[in-house]
Amino acid sequence: MNQCCRQCLEDSRILPFSRGVNLAGRELSTARNDLLDARLGFGNRRYKWATIQAYYAMFHAARALVYSRGYRERSHYCLGIALQELFVDEDLLEAQAVHDFLEAMGLREAADYRARFSRTGATTVMNYAEGFIGRASMMLSAAAPVD
């Protein structure tokens, strides 16, 4: 376990969450809905909200993955750390996915807290979210038990 993950655990910003396994599907559904909302906002030239909603689409997809492993986050940053530790370091997810998540988080923070947003930024985050949700969906369906 890397030092950042250890620190997130020690600070209770990543916690064991046994119920998460049963909630992962709901989180993924929320991710898809947030991406739809981002697209609608984008179509209405609401680039700030499209950026924010597309990031939250990624956030909920990432949360679904982490839930599926029996953990939950109490920090957006530590959610990225958990993705790295539980999926990238285990060769289940490409490192680029975590990079995209963290970049999307930065664009969301710029839009939300500093009123810095653009059509290009919104497009970037929406593209990241679409790819990330697709990858998370595949991973979660592959991990689902077969009846």
Task: Dump pLDDT digits (tens) for 51-110.
Answer: 999 999 999 999 999 999 999 999 999 999 999 999 999 999 999 999 999 999 999 999
For residue 100, is it within any domain?
yes
For residue 2, is it within any domain?
no
- Model confidence at 146, pLDDT cuts 50, 70, 90, reads very low
Q: Which regions of 4-54 does DSSP assign to beta strands (E)?
A: 14-16
3-state helix, strand, coil in the chain (%, to 5): 75, 5, 20
For residue 57, is it within any domain?
yes
Whether pTM exceeds 0.75? yes
Q: Total structural domains in the chain?
A: 1
CATH classification at residue 91: 1.20.120.330
Domain that holds residue 26: 15-139
Which helix (H) or strand (E) covers residue 72, if one does? Answer: strand 71-73
For residue 10, is it within any domain?
no
Q: Are 15 and 72 in contact (CB under 8 A)?
A: yes
For residue 113, is it within any domain?
yes
For residue 90, is it within any domain?
yes
For residue 147, is it within any domain?
no
